[in-house]
Structure 1
Amino acid sequence: MNTLALKAKAAQIRMNLLKMIHGAKTGHTGGSLSNTDILTALYYKIMTIDPADPKHPDRDRFIASKGHSVESLWCILADRGFFPKEDLDTFSRFGTKLIGHPNNKVPGIEMNTGALGHGLAISVGMALAAKRDGKGYRAFCLMGDGEQAEGSVWEAAMAGAHYKLDNLIGIVDRNRLQISGSTEDVMGLDPLEDKWASFGWNVVSLDGNDVEALVNAFAAAPEVPGKPTLIMANTVKGKGVSFAENVPHWHHHVPNDQELEQALSELTALIESYRKEEEAQ
């Protein structure tokens, strides 16, 4: 996919997750909208994965440590063919495998997550195993910025640098909002880039809603041999829906019928603009 196709795909994924959350009447809307571009870059351009063989030993590993924002991931896994798209209609229904956090009974999910602060430590283990087994796969771990208050994140960060895991890529969805408000009001994090660098990581700060910048950064990792990479993805919570952007209430707000209609209209117009731009090139 070229950049415009990736942007259109991200907009379509946003439409899908909004419809899924609306139908289930539950979900974490704001964070899923903010991380969609990150996941789009990884799953459509960067990671070595095979939906027909989801446990291939040489696959890249992805861990959604901020597991509550799973809706975008479910939509992408369905779109890539890990499971039927019709399964999205069962999201959060009784007996479904598509629950509100990643569930490793679903193809494409490496581990159950949602208790924040656990994903990076598991990713360190995966990256270390690849090194010791002489494998070339990489481990990608998506964390929330509110999650950075967990001490286990920093223990894992220290271990990743100690073992020189340059096949490990951590990503912080830095949308600056968590369930109870601004991250800087709840538990101040800045200067967050400097903290990661002080733990021995190569830090790349970028616009986390720019798929081209994300693709370039992921493809370049590791820029520094012997160092794990931390992508500080500066995002907008609720990205793509004008009235949801940077609004804390949308952390787990379920769009009503009118809000869904307006959001889908905005995203449809965005996709159409990408199509016209591509035709003009």
Structure 2
Amino acid sequence: MPLAPSDIKELKDQAKQLRHDIINVTAWAGGAHIGGAMSMLEILVLLYFKYLNIDPSNPETEDRDRVIVSKGHAGIGFVSVLARRGYFKLDELKTFNQFGSKFGMHPDASKIAGVDASTGSLGHGLPMAVGLALGARTAGKIWKTYCVLGDGECNEGSNWEAAMAASHYGLTNLVTIIDRNNLMIDGPTEDIMSLEPFADKWKAFGFHTLEVDGHNFEELAEAIDISLSGEKGPCIIIAHTHKGRGVDFMEDNVKWHYGSLDSTLVGRAHASVDKEQQP
């Protein structure tokens, strides 16, 4: 869907607020996978505030769109988005990853409203999404399935088996987006297990491949529209992002794959978000 200037401003404001939320929840929890939560944030904000057919007041409605956040370790970003979208109150996240809380480090679909699948074992999200998309087609349903992958988890062979199936069955009701921030827990993806030529790999598996700036709402929306049109067949959207986006001392720093924040760092992080996203 084309985005008007007012839409873009609204989305940017939402992303800015959510970066502040993620910083706060990380501090409340004593630590979290904050870097990857920040890198995928624009993707989730665009989906949840513009594209998805969902009803937070009735999260189990049968004809809702499904979302699989395969990079489940970045769940602190996912649940923050769900809170702002109205699935539950933001204050509930003060218990994030604490004993007895329903909010674990990896979101549990049996406990958290709005979570369609429990993830965290990397490489499982796309296979589940392919199954959902194929099931919807078989049942004659029009709802869509969206899958957000991390680039590091593309080392897992299960993703490529799922890719073969998605291509073979021509699953144009599946939108797959990769958060390509170039870093994983152990270091740069190209040092740990090279993914390049990444786009060519997906092309070889039968996908129309789109590469965009993953922090640019207009580019993301254009790519999602192409994928949803079905005219190009199954699509993969490689969203180039920055780990820790919005916080200057975290950006592109593998040390912030997981980290904790004391009161001084919380202040610095909030100030950086405000400075980076000034009008």
TM-score (norm 1): 0.94
Partner of 1:192: 198
Query: How many Å apart are 1:150 and its aligned residue?
Result: 0.2
Inter-partner Cα distance in structure 2 for 1:266 and 1:134? 48
Query: How many Å apart are 1:216 and its aligned residue?
Result: 2.3
Structure 2 residue runs of 5 or longer lacking an equivalent are 1-5
Partner of 1:69: 74
Query: How many Å apart are 1:227 and its aligned residue?
Result: 2.2
Amino acid at match of 2:99: F
Inter-partner Cα distance in structure 1 for 2:114 and 2:227? 22
Q: How many residue pairs align between the two structures? A: 273
Deviates most, 98-107 or 255-264: 255-264
Partner of 1:161: 167
Deviates most, 170-179 or 259-268: 259-268
Partner of 2:124: 118
Quote the RMSD (CA, aligned, Å): 1.3
Amino acid at match of 2:267: E
Query: How many Å apart are 1:169 and its aligned residue?
Result: 1.1
Q: 2:108 aligns with which of 92, 100, 103?
A: 103
Output one character per residue of 1:86-139: Cα deviation in whole Å (capped at 9) or x when no partner.
111110111111110121121100111000000000000110111111111111
Query: How many Å apart are 1:269 and its aligned residue?
Result: 3.7
Q: 1:209 aligns with which of 205, 209, 215?
A: 215
Partner SS, residue 221 of structure 1: helix
Query: How many Å apart are 1:151 and its aligned residue?
Result: 0.3
Output one character per residue of 1:189-248: Cα deviation in whole Å (capped at 9) or x when no partner.
001111011101111100011122112221332354372221100000010001110111
TM-score (norm 2): 0.95
Inter-partner Cα distance in structure 1 for 2:10 and 2:231? 32
Partner of 1:142: 148
Partner of 1:88: 93
Partner of 1:175: 181
Alignment of 1:225 onto 2:234: no
Partner of 1:46: 51
Partner SS, residue 93 of structure 1: coil
Inter-partner Cα distance in structure 2 for 1:137 and 1:263? 38
TM superposition outliers: structure 1 runs of 4+ over 4 Å = none
Amino acid at match of 1:204: L
Q: 2:265 aligns with which of 234, 249, 259?
A: 259
Structure 1 residue runs of 5 or longer lacking an equivalent are 275-281
Percent of aligned pairs sharing the same letter: 41
Judge conservation of contact 1:113–1:119 (CA < 8 Å) in 2: yes
